[in-house]
Amino acid sequence: MDEVTGQDGKRISDWLSAMVNAHVDVAKDPYVFDLNVNRATYNHVNFLLRAGKGKSTFLFIAQPALKEYANAVNSLGGMYGSHIDSVTTKRKGDILNDMIKDYFARFSKKLDETKFSSEGELEWRERWYAMKDKLRNHDINWNGVFSEKHAEAALRNPDSLAGLYFQVACLLAFDKMDVYAQALSNLVRVSKIDTKKFGNDIVQQINFLNSYNNFCYGDDSDIWTLSNKSDLQSVI
């Protein structure tokens, strides 16, 4: 999370700056919505860009399954600008779990309907069913989810066998990284990196202090905890 250059060779700060500019210009060119960057996915996008995924971030987040998820979650937030925070974590989790089950069922049905005839195809049949077992157990190749080649193929043909497999894998990856995306969002919020404003009166300042203490000592505090002095020295 402290790298300057991403895995694509571009500066991470340039990608983050591009996202800021995209939201500033959203009225005249709302292309971020086509990329599926919205209230339901923004924390994940920010996390992936900060982690150096670059272009792969948008090929991942724009997959049809994740667009379907975002539409469902955003609709729960209300149509008059309600914040996505008003949607409870449990409700978002229920939507995601239901979608994982639905897309896994679609993939399984497609696999059962696929005809394998030649000897080479029969070998692939065994591979596909082995992959299905791994998918069922959430044992997937996480790096494959951020493969530009596979992501682009899935965008072109999301209803193919490989495309449906990729949709399930993306939903599982989105679920897996949620806790880290939220933790990074909380870190930005309590550190007031962008404004340095801790409140204009005592009530606002107390609220900020409460959120800060909850971040430092709450349930997810271990994500940002340095275990020993050598860790601190490496950061310095």
Q: Indicate the pTM of the whole model.
A: 0.81
| 58 within 8 A of 31, measured Cβ to Cβ | no
Report angle CA 84, 74, 94 to the nearest 5 degrees. 85
pLDDT for 115: 87
Q: Which long-range contacts (CB under 8 A, 24 or more apart) does 137-141 make?
A: 138/172, 138/176, 140/169, 140/172, 140/173, 141/169
pLDDT for 236: 40
The domain spans of the chain are 12-191, 195-236
When pLDDT is cut at 50, 70 and 90, the band that residue 230 belongs to is low
Residue 73 has pLDDT above 50, yes or no: yes
Torsion angles phi and psi, residue 177, rounded to 5: -90, 0
- Give 113-165 pLDDT, tens digit per residue: 988 877 677 788 889 999 999 999 999 888 889 999 999 999 999 999 999 99
Amino acid, single-letter form, for residue 31: Y
What's the rounded Cα separation, in Å, for the pair 103 and 79?
27
When pLDDT is cut at 50, 70 and 90, the band that residue 207 belongs to is confident
